[in-house]
Amino acid sequence: MQLDDLLLNEPVIEAAIDYNPLTVAPKTSLVDVITLMNQKRIHSCSISDVDSPSNAFTVNETGSSCVLVMKGTELLGIFTERDIVRLTADGIDFKKMTIAEVMTHPVITLEQAALKDVFAALFLFRRYRIRHLPIVGQKGELIGVVSHESIRSILRPIHLLKFMRVADVMSTQVIRAPMTASVLSLAQVMAEFRISCVVITEEKLQSDLGQFVHIPVGIVTERDIVQFQALEVNLSEVRAQTVMSAPLFLLNPEDSLWTALVEMQRRHLRRLVVSWDRGTGIGIVTQSSLLRVLDPVQMYGVIETLQNTVR
């Protein structure tokens, strides 16, 4: 085994820019914006050497997780899935609002010349607790958008992920809710705790333990809230058990992060539930969890471990 075989090739950060982000005018109605965000769009992201035309791009059809509000060439604001959840929790009448009234502004941006590597974007993601970063030119003109998902699409941290376990990065601060909870209450919880999902659990008796435990059976996410709003569903009347994504694919804490990444891509998911002790223990691994592997300090420590292993 050669040490070079274990190290990462530096990703081409330009390939993480979505050069065709969803944009709308400030007077666009909020309902129309949500409809646009919920429509399938084709995203092409590089996952290998951009000089290799045969395998440089993968094409995915997904909804848009953000929309940029533009007045001509001027970037006025940004609106994301998290904003939809927050407004849903606040009971806002979507039919009476325009995007200009609810967008986030001013917008955190990064000049393209300063986008040297993934760490420049990751630093701003963490500092401002954002997941979408518009990239602009020298004159402030919009170039595109970099997001958690687009960065993940260009990464090839195969060996780092194989040497780390799910337990190393998972969050155990998981918000749970019963199957009878209303979708509106789930949106309110997401907004209050600034989380992207709620795990739905079912109470079952563990006879050998002589007690009831809450077993994870489904999940409701921000993307689900977006879809329900697009369908104009009465969220206060709909129960989690009727709309949750189920059955769950459950990771084990001892699984490698490589397993988590493969399953996320294969199942087109942004997060996976982790379960242990027959369901009594529960955690979450998200796209953000995998991006933390690229923290410079974390990466240095793992690479040092790999070097010692090779020696």
Ramachandran region of residue 277, left (φ > 0), alpha (ψ -120 to 50) or beta?
A: left
pLDDT number for residue 222:
92
Rounded Cα distance between 294 and 298, Å, is: 7
pLDDT number for residue 55:
37
pLDDT number for residue 310:
42
pLDDT number for residue 68:
98
Q: Contact at 8 Å (CB) between 179 and 246?
A: no
Task: Identify the three-state secondary structure at position 267.
Answer: helix
Residues 187, 144 share a domain: no
Residues 168, 147 share a domain: no
H-state helical runs in the chain: 30-38, 81-89, 99-102, 118-128, 148-154, 158-163, 166-169, 183-193, 222-230, 240-243, 257-267, 287-291, 296-310
Residues 143, 82 share a domain: yes
Residues 149, 23 share a domain: yes
Rounded Cα distance between 210 and 226, Å, is: 40
Q: Is residue 307 in some structural domain?
A: no
Residues 238, 133 share a domain: no
pLDDT number for residue 166:
93
Q: Is residue 144 in some structural domain?
A: yes
Residue stretches of the chain with pLDDT short of 50: 1-8, 42-60, 303, 306-307, 309-311
Residues 145, 55 share a domain: yes
Domain extent, residue 206, equals: 161-293
Q: Is residue 1 in some structural domain?
A: no
Residues 179, 142 share a domain: no
Q: Which residues pair with 219 in a beta bridge?
A: 199, 245
pLDDT number for residue 54:
34
pLDDT number for residue 296:
53
Rounded Cα distance between 13 and 114, Å, is: 11
Beta strand residue intervals within 34-136, DSSP E: 41-46, 57-62, 66-71, 74-80, 110-111, 132-136
Residue that terminates a domain, selected from 103, 132, 156: 156
Residues 278, 236 share a domain: yes
pLDDT number for residue 50:
36
- Find the CATH number of the domain harbouring 280: 3.10.580.10
How many domains is the chain built from?
Answer: 2
Q: Is residue 266 in some structural domain?
A: yes
CA 66 to chain centre: 11
Rounded Cα distance between 38 and 24, Å, is: 14
pLDDT number for residue 278:
82
Residues 203, 127 share a domain: no
Rounded Cα distance between 225 and 196, Å, is: 10
Residues 130, 25 share a domain: yes
Q: Is residue 305 in some structural domain?
A: no
Residues 117, 42 share a domain: yes
Rounded Cα distance between 123 and 309, Å, is: 30
Nearest to residue 108, comparing CAs of 87, 125, 85, 86? 125
Q: Is residue 176 in some structural domain?
A: yes
Residue that terminates a domain, selected from 156, 177, 209: 156
Q: Contact at 8 Å (CB) between 111 and 61?
A: no
Rounded Cα distance between 85 and 274, Å, is: 24
Residues 109, 209 share a domain: no
pLDDT number for residue 156:
59
pLDDT number for residue 261:
87
Task: Identify the three-state secondary structure at position 70.
Answer: strand
Amino acid at the residue 275: S
